[in-house]
Amino acid sequence: MKAPLGAVVIAAHNEEAVIARCLAALSPVIVSGAAQVIVVCNGCRDDTAAIARRFESVEVVELDLASKVGALRMGDQLAGPGPRIYLDADVVMTGAAAMAVLGILSTGGALAVRPPISFDSTGASWPVRRWYELRERIPSISRALWGAGTYALSVEGRARFGEFPDIVSDDLYIDSLFSAVETDIVDTDPVIVTTPRRTGDLLKILIRTYRTQGDVQRNASRIPISRGQQGQLRDILSLVRRERGLLVSAAVYAVLIVIARLRARVRPRHGAWERDNSSRFT
């Protein structure tokens, strides 16, 4: 059997409702051994680890502390040579997409990549559906690494920084380390990201992102803030000029962004992970 092309690191905290879905999509590479798949259960008080162990050849490790950063660091320690995919447990990536990503990173060129994104807003509230209708159309965001529930780094790309810093938004941090010419969106199966079902849960995600931008700016070595966020307003105005039918979605998008930014400023930092549980279902 050939050595794995790379590793897939999955940080999981109380993900019993979705971890099987995540691993089942990766089963072709798990069974073949084409990629090393590591599930780091951190602070789990449910059956996440037991369910993950049902998938033969998946490496499962349990940490007492609920910490995504701690899980990412442990995953790095366990991962073998080659490029690495960092994947959220509630996101679905096919085995074909995983191999395409690892293959691209193994041949040189881009240092950091991800697959395209497909947002599943089935059953979501009207504001959430409108928000994501616009979100997936914004060009500057569609090329960014953050917001997809996954990113992947070549060996050289992973060497860009030491261990993962104590930052909640790890994907935003990774995005800030690379220039546009160093990243790419791989032409393969999209990752399926289930959107929040409730507007309040979407706001939780947005507040978390905006509240942690300062941490990213202090730790990033190249770009002070995400390229995608810098170009949002320009892209939204351009989209609305071309497609007047997006005006309502643009208004909803803008209102929720403003609310999230204001709440991020006034809400005290408490170190908790503001998590959307509405999208975690089987």
Residue 258 CB burial class (10 angstroms; 0-12, 13-18, ≥19): exposed
What pLDDT, on the 0 to 100 scale, is given for residue 265? 81
Would you say residue 277 lies in a domain? Answer: no
Q: Per residue of the chain (282 residues), give pLDDT as tens.
A: 678 999 999 999 999 999 999 999 999 999 999 999 999 999 999 999 999 999 999 999 999 999 999 999 999 999 999 999 999 999 999 999 999 999 999 998 899 999 999 999 999 999 999 999 999 999 888 889 999 999 999 999 999 999 999 988 899 899 999 998 999 999 999 999 999 999 999 999 999 888 777 666 555 555 444 444 557 788 898 999 999 889 999 999 999 999 998 888 875 554 444 566 666 655
Number of domains in the chain: 1
pLDDT at residue 248, rounded to an integer: 96
> Is the residue at 42 inside a domain?
yes
Provide the residue range defining the domain that includes 32.
6-126+143-194
For position 232, what pLDDT does the model report?
Answer: 79
Q: Which residues pair with 39 in a beta bridge?
A: 10, 60
Helices 247-266 + 126-135 axis angle, to 10: 100
Residue 12 within any structural domain of the chain? yes
Strand 191-194 relative to strand 112-114, pairing = unpaired
Cα-to-chain-centroid distance, residue 103: 20
Residues paired with residue 37 on neighbouring β-strands, in sequence order: 8
Query: Quick check: is 131 in a domain?
Result: no
Which residues lie across from 60 on neighbouring strands?
A: 39
Token pair 């996440």 in the structure block, residue: 48
Q: Is 116 exposed, middle or buried (0-12, 13-18, 19+ CB in 10 A)?
A: middle
Decide if 149 is inside a domain: yes
Closest by alpha carbon to 39, among 17, 61, 57, 22? 61
Residue 75: closest CA among 164, 177, 176: 164
Question: How much is the pLDDT for 228?
Answer: 47
Degrees, nearest 5: CA angle 34-43-80: 25
Residue 172 lies in a domain: yes
* Model pLDDT, residue 86: 98
Asked if the structure places residue 181 within a domain, the reply is: yes
The answer to whether residue 247 sits within a structural domain is no
CATH number at residue 96: 3.90.550.10
pLDDT score of 225: 47
Please say whether the beta carbons of 57 and 36 come within 8 A: no
Distance between CA atoms of residues 251 and 255, nearest Å: 6
Sorted by sequence, the CB contacts under 8 Å of residue 134 that are 6+ apart come out as 236, 239, 246, 249, 250, 252, 253
d(CA 228, CA 150): 16
In this prediction, residue 234 carries a pLDDT of 85
Classify the C-alpha dihedral 44-39-97-223 as positive or negative. positive
